């Protein structure tokens, strides 16, 4: 059984909040930081432009900062990109990699995900590797196969730094932003499978988060499972009340 002494509550703000909205929400969360149980590891992934001021506010109350995406080069003529190194300099501890919106809307391949993952590790950030099957793959009974391909591409022959946690987010594509959350028992089954595969590939026991339409009403159903170490939340993390209700559900 995984160590469940820590519960991971990770908030992916995506492109939902502009600069002012991000700062307002970060300050409001910081003002309520005393009500966050000590067992919770919280990280916020704001938009790139809001990241620096949001990070300053969160740092003072012990909430971590993360990047939603990185580029694998450190510096160069890569118009529009932001490198893992630059996110590190801006105060990030974590970086998402292979989020399904990156894979599907921006056509990121498994090999690009791997290059990003290695750049994140090189910069001493902790990656959060997202994997998930599409609705079509699930309908065709190819869920396990789809996940195994993504997990293998991410971890095959990787040298994992000893000082770094290995965090995977299981996020079924059909459950993201749709309101259709995955059945918690099914999510637990997938977490067991991912755990087994990651251990076989790396020898490391991963932390595995569930993501996909998590909200205050369903979060406890996920967290009670032995292999669900926390949640990665999109929509419901962008509103103070629903985010603090998710936090409250941990107790
Ligand atoms: P959602 O997004 O909570 O809005 O479904 C989750 C995610 O994409 O990480």
Going along the chain from its start, the domains and CATH numbers come out as 7-248 (3.20.20.70)
- What is the best residue among 69, 94, 235, 242 to mutate for testing ligand 1's pocket, by most ligand atoms within 8 Å of CB? 235
Is 99 among the catalytic positions?
A: yes
Q: Tell me whether residue 148 is exposed, middle or buried, using C-beta atoms within 10 angstroms of its C-beta: 0 to 12, 13 to 18, 19 or more.
A: middle
CA distance 124 to 74: 13
Kindly give the distance from the C-alpha atom of residue 232 to the centroid of ligand 1, in angstroms, as a whole number. Answer: 7
Task: Give the predicted TM-score (pTM) of the model.
Answer: 0.97
Q: Could you identify the atom of ligand 1 that is nearest to the CA of residue 214? A: 3
Q: What pLDDT is recorded for position 233?
A: 98
Mean pLDDT of 47-51: 97
Is 104 among the catalytic positions?
A: no
Mean pLDDT of 244-248: 97
* pLDDT class of 4 with cuts at 50, 70, 90: confident
Is the pLDDT reported for residue 162 higher than 70?
A: yes
Q: What pLDDT is recorded for position 47?
A: 97
Q: What pLDDT is recorded for position 1?
A: 45
The verdict on the CB of residue 96 being under 6 Å from ligand 1 is no
The verdict on the CB of residue 132 being under 6 Å from ligand 1 is no
Residue with the smallest CA separation from ligand 1 atom 2 is: 234
* pLDDT class of 155 with cuts at 50, 70, 90: very high
CA distance 89 to 85: 6
Mean pLDDT of 131-137: 96
Taking CA atoms, 96 is separated from 77, 116, 235, in Å, by 23, 10, 16
The predicted-structure confidence for 171-211, as pLDDT tens digits, reads as follows 999 999 898 989 999 999 999 999 999 999 999 999 999 99
The predicted-structure confidence for 59-109, as pLDDT tens digits, reads as follows 999 999 999 999 999 999 999 999 999 999 999 999 999 999 999 999 999
Q: Could you identify the atom of ligand 1 that is nearest to the CA of residue 12? A: 9
The verdict on the CB of residue 176 being under 6 Å from ligand 1 is yes
Kindly give the distance from the C-alpha atom of residue 127 to the centroid of ligand 1, in angstroms, as a whole number. Answer: 17
CA distance 111 to 94: 20
């Amino acid at each position: 059984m995984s160590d469940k002494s820590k519960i991971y509550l990770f908030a992916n703000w995506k492109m939902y909040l502009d600069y002012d909205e991000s700062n307002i929400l970060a300050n409001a969360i910081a003002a309520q930081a005393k009500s966050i149980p000590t067992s919770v590891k919280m990280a916020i992934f704001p938009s790139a432009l809001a990241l620096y001021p949001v990070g300053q506010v969160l740092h003072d109350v012990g909430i971590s900062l993360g990047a939603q995406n990185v580029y694998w080069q450190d510096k160069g003529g890569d118009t529009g990109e932001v490198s893992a190194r630059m996110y590190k300099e801006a105060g990030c501890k974590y970086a998402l990699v292979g989020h399904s919106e990156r894979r599907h809307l921006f056509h990121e391949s498994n090999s690009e995900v791997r290059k990003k993952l290695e750049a994140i590790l090189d910069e001493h950030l902790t990656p959060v590797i997202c994997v998930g099957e599409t609705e079509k793959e699930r309908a065709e009974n190819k869920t396990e196969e789809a996940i195994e391909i993504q997990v293998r591409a991410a971890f095959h022959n990787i040298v994992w730094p000893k000082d770094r946690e290995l965090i995977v987010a299981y996020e079924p594509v059909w459950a993201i932003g749709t309101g259709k959350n995955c059945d918690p028992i099914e999510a637990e089954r997938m977490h067991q499978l991912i755990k087994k595969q990651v251990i076989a590939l790396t020898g490391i026991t991963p932390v595995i988060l569930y993501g996909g339409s998590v909200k205050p009403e369903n979060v406890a159903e996920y967290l009670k499972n032995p292999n669900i170490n926390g949640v990665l939340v999109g929509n419901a993390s962008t509103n103070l009340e629903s985010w603090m209700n998710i936090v409250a559900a941990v107790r």
